[in-house]
Structure 1
C-alpha cells in the first residue's frame, strides 16, 4: 500500500484522471445548462403561441357559445393538448370555463395585458411533482374582455433532463477511466528511460563502474540526470581506483615495519641475550613504532581533510616569520649534512598558522633529506597577482619528468629503491597538497638544472 501511495505513476494517473473528470463534468454541466435553457425557451415560445391561438379564437363570432357548450374545443385545437390547461375568467371574476381534467391546482399569475412575453410566465409544480409553466393575458370576446390563463405540465421534459444528467455523469466517469488507462499506458512507456537508469544503477558493482548510460537514447528532460549519473560513476571509478591503490600501498607500507618488528623480536628470542642487547631491540622497536604512529597520524589527517572535516582558521600571517620558525626547527638536521637554510622575501599570507607550518615542515624535511651535502636550501616568499607564493628549493639529484605529476600522491616515491631507509612515510607531500586544497590554493613542483623547487600558492592577505 505504501508503495502505491509513493508511486509517481499512480499520483500522475490519479491527478490526470481527476483533471479529465473535472473537465468532463464542467463541459457536461455547460452543455446541460445550454440544452435546458434552449428547451425551456422553446417551450415558453410554444406556451405563448398557445395563448395567442386562444386569444384569436375568442375574437371570432360565437366564441361565447363555444365556451359554454364546447370548452374542450379550445384545447383540442392546440398541439400537446394532453398536458395543456386553459381557464377563462370573466371581468367580474367568474370562471367561464376551466379545462383541467386532472384537477391540477395552479396559480393564476397577474395578467400581462393583451400581449405577453416570457417575463410574464410563472413556474409552478404539479401534484405529482412535475414542473409546470403558466401565463395569463386578456382577450377580446364580443363586446367584452376576458382573462385567459394557459398552463402546461412538463413531465416528459423533467424525465428528459434526468436522463441527460445521468448520461453526462456516465460520460464523465467513462472519460475519467479512459483517461486513467491512457495515462497509465503513457506513463509506463514514458518512464521506461527511468527504469533503464534504475536497472543500470542496480547493476553497479566495483567491476562495472566503467559502464556509462547513453544519453542519446533518453528524452532531453533526462539528459541532465544521465549526465550527473555518468559523472558520479566517473568519480566513483576514480575514487575506487585510488582506494584500491591506497589499500595496496598501505598494506605494503605497514608490512615493512611489522616484518622488522617480528623478525628482530623472533631473532632476539632465539637465544639468551644480554640486557644491552634487549635494550637495543627495544630502542629499534620504538623507532619502528614511532614511524608507524607518524604514518597513522598522517593517514588520519588525510582522511579528515578528504572528508572536509578540517576547517582552516585562515588569518593574515607573515610568510617570513613562518619560514624562519621552520628553518630554526630543521637547523640541526641541516647542519648534520652540511646544509644551510636561507629565508628570502616576505608577504602577507591568508592561511591557518598551524597548517602553514606543517606544510613548510614537510617540504623542508623533504629538502633536507634529498639535498646535496654542503648545498643551500632557499625558502622564498613573494607576492603575486592577488596571491602569495612560498617556495622551497634545493639542489640535488634530478627528478625524472615522468615522476613530477605523481609526487603529491600518497606513498609515491620517485626512487622506490630507497624504500623506507630514510624513515619517510611517503605521505608528506600528499599532506602538503591536502593542506593547500583546504586553503583553496595549489602546490606545484618543478625540477630543472639539478634543482628542485616546490611552490605553495595561497590567497594574499591585505597588506
Structure 2
C-alpha cells in the first residue's frame, strides 16, 4: 500500500478518477434536476387541465342534477388518472360529492377562481408517504358556484425518480472506472521515457560515464530533464577524469621525494659514514620533508577552499601598498637572479589581506623562477568600474597557447622551456585560482611572445561577491 501511496501513476489515476466522477455526478445531477422539474411541470399542467375539464363539464346544462345523482360520472372523466381525487364543495363548505376510493386525507387549498395557475397548486403527502399535489378552483353549476378540488398522488413518479438516480450513480461510477483504466494505460505508456532514464541511471558506472541519454525520442516535456542529466553525466565524467589525473599526479609527486629519502638513507647506511655526512643526509631529508609538508598544506587548503571552509574576511586594501609588501618580500630572491621588481598603478581591493598576499606571492614566486636574468618583473594595479585588476608580468621563455588553459590546474606544469620545476609542486597557481574563486573573482593569464602576464580580477565594492 505504501508503494501505491507514493506512486505518481497511482496518484494521477486516482485524481483523474475523482475528476471524472465529480464531472459525471455534476452532469447527472443537472440532468436529474432538469428531468424532475420537467416531469413536475407536465404533471402540474395535466392537473390543471383535469380541473379545467371538470369545470367545462359542470358548465353544461343538467350538470347540477348529475352532480347530485351521478357523481361517479366525474370519475369516468378521470380515465387513466386512477390516482386522481375530486371533491365538490358547496359555498357553505358542504361536501356535495367526493371521489376518493382510498379514503385519502388531503388539504383543501383556497379556491383560486376559475383559472388557477401553477402557483395555486399545493403539496401534500399520502397515507403511504407518497407525494401529492392539490389545486382548487370555482365553477358555475346552474345558479350557484361550487368549489372543485382536484388532487393526485405520484407514487409511480417517485419510483421512477429513484431508478433514474440509481442509473446516474451507476453511470458516474462506470465512467470513473473506465477513465481510471484508460489513465493507467496512458500513464504507463507516457512514463516509459522515465523508466528508460531510470534504467540508464542504474547503469552509470565510472566506465560508462561517456554514454548519454538519447533525446531524439523523448517527449518535449522531458527534454529539459534529459539535457540536465546529460550535462550532469558530462560533469561527472570530467570530474572523474580530473580526479583520476589528480590521483596519478599526487602519487607521482609524492613518489619523488619519498624515493629521494629512501635512496639517500639506504646509500648512507650501506657503510660507515662520518658525522658530517650524516648531518648532510639529515639536512637533505629535512628539505624533502619540508617540500612534502608544503605540498600537503597546499592540498589541504585547496580541499578546504572547495568545501567553502575558508571564509575570506574582506577589507578595503590599497593595492599599491599590497604590491609593495609582496615585492619587498621577494626583493632578495630577485636580486640573486639579477631581477628588478617594479610596482605601478593604484586602486582599492576588497579582499582578505592574508589570502591576497598569498595569491600575489604565488604569482611573483612563479615570475622570479621563470623570468630572464636581468629583466624586470612588473606588479601593476588597475581600477575599473566593476573590478580591480592586479597583474604580475615578466619576460621569459614563451608559453605555447595550448598550455595556457591548464596553468591553474593542480600539479600542472608547462613545457620544460619554462625552467626547472624541481622547486615547485605545481600547486601555487591552482591555490591562486581557488583564492580568487573564494573572493568571487577570477585569475587569468595572457602570453604574447616572451611576455607573460598573470592577472587577478577582484569585484569592485559596488559588486560584492559571496563565497
TM over 0.5: yes
The structural deviation recorded for 1:157 is 0.5
Taking the aligned partners of 1:461 and 1:5, their CA distance within structure 2 comes to: 53
Long gaps (5+) in structure 2: 463-467
Q: Give the corresponding residue for 1:90.
A: 90
**Are 1:289 and 2:289 an aligned pair?**
yes
Q: Give the corresponding residue for 2:128.
A: 128
Do the aligned partners of residues 45 and 360 (structure 1) sit closer, same or farther apart at CA in structure 2, a change above 3 Å counting? same
RMSD (Å), alpha carbons = 2.3
Q: Is the 8 A contact 2:370 2:418 kept in 1?
A: no
Do the aligned partners of residues 100 and 363 (structure 1) sit closer, same or farther apart at CA in structure 2, a change above 3 Å counting? same
The structural deviation recorded for 1:439 is 2.8
Taking the aligned partners of 1:316 and 1:348, their CA distance within structure 2 comes to: 6
Q: Give the corresponding residue for 1:57.
A: 57
Taking the aligned partners of 2:191 and 2:289, their CA distance within structure 1 comes to: 58
Do the aligned partners of residues 152 and 447 (structure 1) sit closer, same or farther apart at CA in structure 2, a change above 3 Å counting? closer
Q: Which secondary structure does the structure 2 equivalent of 1:81 belong to?
A: coil
The structural deviation recorded for 1:377 is 2.5
Taking the aligned partners of 1:402 and 1:60, their CA distance within structure 2 comes to: 121
Do the aligned partners of residues 416 and 4 (structure 1) sit closer, same or farther apart at CA in structure 2, a change above 3 Å counting? farther
Q: Is the 8 A contact 1:305 1:434 kept in 2?
A: yes
**Are 1:336 and 2:336 an aligned pair?**
yes
Do the aligned partners of residues 70 and 456 (structure 1) sit closer, same or farther apart at CA in structure 2, a change above 3 Å counting? same
Q: Give the corresponding residue for 1:35.
A: 35
The structural deviation recorded for 1:180 is 1.3
Q: Which secondary structure does the structure 1 equivalent of 2:264 belong to?
A: helix
The structural deviation recorded for 1:430 is 1.3
Q: Is the 8 A contact 1:75 1:81 kept in 2?
A: no
1:242-261 equivalence runs, <5 A = 242-261=242-261
The structural deviation recorded for 1:361 is 0.7
Number of aligned pairs?
462
Q: Give the corresponding residue for 2:428.
A: 428
TM-score w.r.t. the length of structure 2 is 0.92
Long gaps (5+) in structure 1: none
Q: Give the corresponding residue for 2:181.
A: 181
Q: Give the corresponding residue for 2:396.
A: 396
Q: Give the corresponding residue for 1:211.
A: 211
Q: Give the corresponding residue for 1:152.
A: 152
Q: Is the 8 A contact 2:370 2:419 kept in 1?
A: no
Q: Give the corresponding residue for 1:367.
A: 367
Q: Which secondary structure does the structure 2 equivalent of 1:215 belong to?
A: coil
Do the aligned partners of residues 271 and 29 (structure 1) sit closer, same or farther apart at CA in structure 2, a change above 3 Å counting? same
Q: Give the corresponding residue for 1:355.
A: 355
Q: Is the 8 A contact 2:397 2:417 kept in 1?
A: no
Do the aligned partners of residues 111 and 246 (structure 1) sit closer, same or farther apart at CA in structure 2, a change above 3 Å counting? same
Taking the aligned partners of 1:116 and 1:449, their CA distance within structure 2 comes to: 113
TM-score w.r.t. the length of structure 1 is 0.93
Q: Is the 8 A contact 2:381 2:391 kept in 1?
A: yes
Q: Give the corresponding residue for 1:380.
A: 380
